[in-house]
Amino acid sequence: MMHEMQKLRVELNRRCDAIGREIRVMEVCGTHTVAAFRSGIRSMLPDNFRLISGPGCPVCVTAQRYIDAAIDLASLPNVIVATYGDMLRVPGLSGSLEKQRAKGADLRVVTSALRALQIARDHPESEVVFLGVGFETTSPATALTILEAARDQVPNFSVLVSHKLVVPAMVALLECDDMSIDGFLCPGHVSVIIGSNAYAPIASRFGKPCVVGGFEPEQILKALVHLTRQIEYGESYVENVYPAVVTESGNATAMDILRRVFVPGDTVWRALGVIPMSGFDLAPEFQAFDALRRFDIHVGEDFDNPSCRCGEVILGRIEPCECALFGNECTPLTPIGPCMVSSEGTCAAWFKYNRHAIAMGARS
Amino acid sequence: MCLAVPAKVISLEGEDGVVDLGGNRLSVRMALTPGIRVDQWVLVHAGFSIAKIETSDALETWGYLKACYAGDATGLDRDADEMVASSRVAAEGTAR
Amino acid sequence: MTTIHSLVGNDVSRPIVETGVERIVLAHGGGGELTGQLIAERIMPALANEDLATLDDSAVLPWCSDHVVFTTDSYVVTPLEFPGGDIGALAVAGTVNDLAVMGAEPVALSLGLIIEEGLPLETLDRIVASISQTAKRAGIRVVTGDTKVIERRTGEGLFVNTAGVGRLIAGCRMSMSRVTPGDQVLVSGTLGEHGLTIMSVRGGIQFDTTLRSDVTPLNGMIRRLVTSGAEIKFMRDATRGGLAGVLADVSERSGFSVEIEESALPMTIGARYAADMLGLDPLTIANEGKIVCVVANRDADAVCDMMRACAEGRHAAIIGRVVDSTPPLVELKTTAGGARIVQRPYGEELPRIC
Ligand code: SF4
């Protein structure tokens, strides 16, 4: 295994040398961001290889107005809000869900949407709202849970839907004029659902190499090697180096269920704004499960702190340390922007694993 | 953006299954991997199986993780099994 | 509190300044950065004295010709009982270990029980039995105590406070200031089992597991180590905040860096997988029966062998070393051949799906 790692490192170095100029590859997925830091992959990249973290952290790109709506829901009497642990500390306009819990909100951390539905069954006297966030990997879970709630007629269960789609966001990034990206490390687990073919337009229309990779150190390195190979030869096509679980066409059952329960719609991404057809709304027959309708919650506006440069971080225009607030006002303890609050947010990952990168570089 | 782990299917009852990850057992909804059978491997995300895995691939990931920590070197596997046994006994003992 | 400096968009129907009271959040109790902040900003200023200021696990007080070591800790774990232990075992072992890692022989414990109205008496009985059993194992007696009952909230609540005194073992003085480059870093066994076990029995998260809490008094093993003549410079139990928390303390307070090897970290497959499944970093997960030791280079192997000779330390390992480099930080050499920084966790560790 180590031997294989070594071979991949040598090949990556050789190809990066051959290319010569700076290579900018975006890892779309936040789990790749964290895995690359945790396993130390980032520390072994050639000098002219820049790994840019894209908009692939569902927490980071969840609009503030959604967090505010979630907090509003959590402060209603007799409402239990069930959420993945990821969402607890995301700052809204007036605090976070964690702070709302300190004020008395009934907030439950769950590891599956089905657990939220179970809470609803166990507490028929309360309303249970599940926060449906995440990309295509996660949205089938929400969809199936809604189908089950409909089948079993669980009257006190609803979902605040903020699911997002990856490919439209990648297209939106590429349509910004000043985007200089040489290729994409495509999200392995999203691709399990949507299939590697989903990136074909990006490779053909925009001429960007797309490589689907796994999350173990060796799998990441392998994907990066394949990307640099395409870049070196000036090619652009979709490669799948995570064939253990990713197919060309994805998980047909999951895609069917998504089409049944949701309809694509325009969605606001934090720091990126509205991206056409990049999110999901509930299909008409399931709108009874829409928490916003059920509780008549008004979704407000976004008030982003103007000094927070999350948008540029997510777009790969700047590195977190170029933000004046990074590590000063903005730390995981006092996150200003969403990129700092999510553990897989780019700013948080930098703060956690890389804060002293420069000092370490000087040392070695 | 999505943590998912490989796990082995231990039992199935309709669409509900139990999977094992190194001694941790999780109830998982199998609806997204129709036709899955006991002893096969799946990728699990947020309480759902989202893909079937060919066994050799799963074992490769497993093997890699194993090498990550010193388990092999210090004989932890054997002791972990012992711990498994003793905790099962303990659990049975306290079951009322 | 936070003021939003300007507006994007024109809808001003929502308040733009957050007013109101700052409140304690659960993460304040997580043993991470936030806990540190709470203590430094709100507790130390009011109570500071030189014994408290060291923020060690126990205070060492001069007492006739001996030194008395004194500590207190509160336990609020839910659920009260979990595989491998319960709140009673935690309260005894935790306080005993806090004394022991200072190089003390535990002498006596106090026990404060704050019980919620509605707690089933048989639960209380089991926990008190476990307190007695754990104390026996540690060779310590509960010599004073107090019981209060508070109004019903969940009907399942019990909080325990234990204070402990110990006698400093002659010639023993653990101190971060003795840590120097070249020292070796040891851990007494496998990591993460307590925290992961607790997660496995929490509502919303539950999973069946062969993991069990590692809660156990370590004073027997520690006594052997500190009376062996080996040059042990610093010792701490890696509870909340995990290994990462202790090592961050070592580097911050000694002014040196700590370098650890991922491949040397003892961990069971079960814990490794449970951590992966929940998206947690095993280094930041709580242990209740593991110590981290900083030992002079020449004695490191001997100390490791002594630990391995004890049941509680049979998976002990040398995991890294203290190095002279600035700024002081903790660096992990990964199995994949890279490096990364290890930092103290933020607070409450939450399972993630992302
Ligand atoms: S460091 Fe903080 S303020 Fe700056 S871009 Fe990142 S999240 Fe925003």
CATH value at residue B18:
2.30.30.140
Structure-block tokens of residue A119: 């809470």
Q: What is the pLDDT of residue C3?
A: 28
Q: Which of C143, C168, C193 is the last residue of a domain?
A: C168
pLDDT digits (tens, 9 = 90+) for A70-108: 999 999 999 999 999 888 888 888 788 988 998 999 999
Residue C42 has pLDDT above 80, yes or no: no
Q: Is the pLDDT of residue C127 over 50?
A: yes
As for how many domains chain A has, the answer is 2
Q: Return d(Cα A126, Cα A119) in angstroms, integer.
A: 9
Find, in chain C, the residue whose alpha carbon is nearest to that of A58.
C354
Alpha helices (H) along chain A:
2-19, 30-38, 58-61, 64-74, 97-102, 113-122, 139-151, 166-175, 188-194, 200-205, 217-232, 252-261, 291-295, 310-314, 338-341, 346-354, 357-363
Helix, strand or coil for residue C32? coil
A282, pLDDT greater than 60: yes
Same domain, C335 and C202: yes
Selected residue with higher pLDDT from B65 and A137: A137
Q: A363–C325: do the CB atoms touch at under 8 Å?
A: yes
Residue B29 has pLDDT above 80, yes or no: yes
DSSP state of B79: H
Which residue in A295, A346, A258 sits closest to A69, CA to CA? A295
Give a yes or no: residue A364 inside a domain. no
Specify the higher pLDDT residue, C31 or A61: A61
Domain that holds residue C184: 176-341
At A307-324, the pLDDT tens digits run: 888 878 877 788 888 898
Distance CA A312, CA B12 (A): 47
* Chains interfacing with A (3 or more CB pairs < 8 Å): B, C
- Examine the domain organization and report whether C222 and C138 are in the same domain: no
User: Which pLDDT belongs to residue C86?
Assistant: 97
Q: Does A226 share its domain with A253?
A: yes
Domain count of the fold of chain C: 2
| Distance linking the first and last C-alpha atoms of chain B | 42
Identify the weakest region by mean pLDDT among A22-36, A110-124, C216-230: A22-36
**Does A23 lie in the same domain as A123?**
yes
Q: What is the mean pLDDT of residues C190-201?
A: 95
Same domain membership, residue C123 and residue C157: yes
SS3 call for B73: coil
Cβ contact C195:C287 at 8 Å:
yes
Cis peptide before C79 (omega within 30 of 0): yes
Name the 3-class secondary structure at C72: strand
**Structural domain for A202, as ranges:** 1-304
Residues C118 and C208 in one domain: no
Residue B1 has pLDDT above 80, yes or no: no
pLDDT at B90: 35
Question: What is the structure's pLDDT at C47?
Answer: 63
* Enclosing domain of residue B26: 5-95
**What's the number of domains chain B is made of?**
1
**pTM for the full model?**
0.84
Residue at C354 is within a domain: no
CA distances A80 to A14, A74, C204, Å, are 55, 7, 13
Last residue of a domain, one of C122, C147, C168: C168
Residues A253 and A288 in one domain: yes
| Secondary element (H or E) of residue A162 | strand A157-163
Q: Cβ of A192: how many Cβ atoms within 10 Å?
A: 27
Interval C199-221 mean pLDDT: 92
Task: Tell which residue, A327, A84, A131, A97, has the closest CA to residue C26.
Answer: A97
Band (C36; pLDDT cuts 50, 70, 90): confident
| pLDDT confidence of residue B21 | 87
CATH number at residue C284: 3.90.650.10
Mean pLDDT of A317-337: 84
The whole-angstrom separation of Cα C42 and Cα C148 is 26
pLDDT in tens, A45-60: 999 998 888 887 777 7
Closest CA of chain A from B30, distance in Å? 11
| A213 and A247 within one domain | yes
Q: Are residues C243 and C112 in the same domain?
A: no
Q: How much is the pLDDT for B91? A: 35
A244 within a domain of the structure (yes/no) = yes
Q: pLDDT class for A253, splitting at 50, 70, 90?
A: very high
In a domain, A150, yes or no: yes
The pLDDT tens digits of the residues spanning B55-66 come to: 766 566 655 444
Query: Could you give phi then psi for residue C251, rounded to 5 degrees?
Result: -70, -40
> pLDDT at position B60, please?
64
Nearest residue (CA) to ligand 1, atom 3: A308
Kindly indicate the confidence band of residue C10, based on its pLDDT and cuts at 50, 70 and 90.
very low
Same domain flag for C123 and C253: no
Tell me, yes or no, whether C141 lies in a domain.
Answer: yes
Q: Are residues C66 and C48 in the same domain?
A: yes
Chain A residues whose CB is inside 8 A of the B46 CB are 84, 111-113, 134, 137-138, 141
CATH code of A151's domain: 3.40.50.11740
Say how many residues make up chain A: 364
More confident residue, C62 or A281: A281
Q: How confident is the model at residue C202 (pLDDT cuts 50, 70, 90)?
A: confident
pLDDT for the residue B71: 41
ipTM of the complex: 0.87
Q: What is the pLDDT of residue B80?
A: 44
Question: Average pLDDT for residues C279-307, to the nearest whole number?
Answer: 95
Which residue's entry shows tokens 């000043």? A178
Query: Chain A neighbours among C 25-54 (CB < 8 Å)?
Result: 25-27, 33-34, 37
Which segments of chain C are extended strands (E)? Answer: 59-63, 66-75, 81-82, 85-86, 104-116, 141-150, 158-168, 184-187, 208-209, 232-237, 257-261, 291-295, 317-323, 330-333, 339-342
Amino acid at C305: D
Residue C17 has pLDDT above 70, yes or no: no
Are residues A14 and A55 located together in one domain of the fold?
Answer: yes
| C266 within a domain of the structure (yes/no) | yes
Is residue C227 in a domain? yes
Report percent pLDDT > 90 for chain A.
59
Select from C210, C265, C314 the Cβ nearest to the Cβ of B23: C210
